[in-house]
Amino acid sequence: MTAGVAVTFEHVAYRHPGGEAVLRDFSLDVAPAECLALVGRSGSGKTTALRLVNALLVPTGGSVRVGGRATDAWDPIRLRRHTGYVIQEVGLLPHRTVAENAGLVCRLEAWDERRRRERVDELLALTGLPPAEFGHRYPHELSGGQRQRVGLARALAIEPPLLLLDEPFGALDPITRHELQGEFVRLRRALGTTALFVTHDLREAARVADRIALVAAGRVAAMGTLDELQRNPDPDVHAFVEASGYA
């Protein structure tokens, strides 16, 4: 995978085994170094689309390409290790310190101890967790916002060209959420990372993303900036925008 990776969904379908279709003719492109937000109602297919990118799921129709290569042509372990993945629940290892959690992928990549320690210290400082103060702590000693910062640090550990974020700040209080949104925007732009950001909150999408894709019934119903979505005459798009407070 090279820096500035792009993601392409081309007429993608996904159906759970024995179940209903989740995605139907789902198509979009994520430009290099762009952050694209996927918004929509619960059950619209946003998280499924995200999981197709790092091969946690395999499309039942069409193709998903990362860096120009279909996901089923990647070694899935290499694809996942070079794709930062941030979820709402964070998924920190409770028996590992903050520093150990942040450096987990570096360890999996067999970085030597000095390089790993320097990178972890850098990341914790970048995400507002001074390593001398937080590096030795355990997840249960942190607030929700602090744990989410550790999760972001871990996702950025080996400077992945692609970040996938699934409602990463949804469980946080409004002030902490706003702070982390700003931190994410700053870090992503500084690193030039391509990102797919799933959220149900149009205001959050407008703050963190360059473009927004509104997903409805397994398809991309609309794509563009917030202004473009506000001008879209489609009734479903108008209803979602209006419900989000952008009448």
- Cα–chain-centroid distance for residue 192? 14
Question: In this predicted structure, what is the pLDDT of residue 19?
Answer: 81
- Quickly state the pLDDT bin for 142 (edges 50, 70, 90): very high
CA distance 219 to 27: 8
Per cent of the chain over pLDDT 70 is: 97
Look at 163-167, 174-178, 209-213 and tell me which has the smallest mean pLDDT.
Answer: 174-178
| 75: helix, strand or coil | coil
Task: Please compute the mean of the pLDDT values over residues 29-51 and round it to a whole number.
Answer: 93
Q: Which sign does the torsion angle of CA 184, 187, 189, 193 carry?
A: negative
- Long-range (24+ apart) CB contacts under 8 A made by 171-175 are 171/88, 171/89, 171/144, 172/144, 172/145, 172/148, 173/144, 173/145
Among 188, 148, 202, 203, which Cα is nearest to 171's? Answer: 148
Q: Which residues contact 81 (CB under 8 A, 6 or more apart)?
A: 105, 108, 109, 158
Question: Which pTM does this prediction carry?
Answer: 0.87
H-helix or E-strand containing 70? strand 69-70
Work out the pLDDT band at 2, boundaries 50, 70, 90. Answer: very low
Please say whether the beta carbons of 26 and 13 come within 8 A: yes
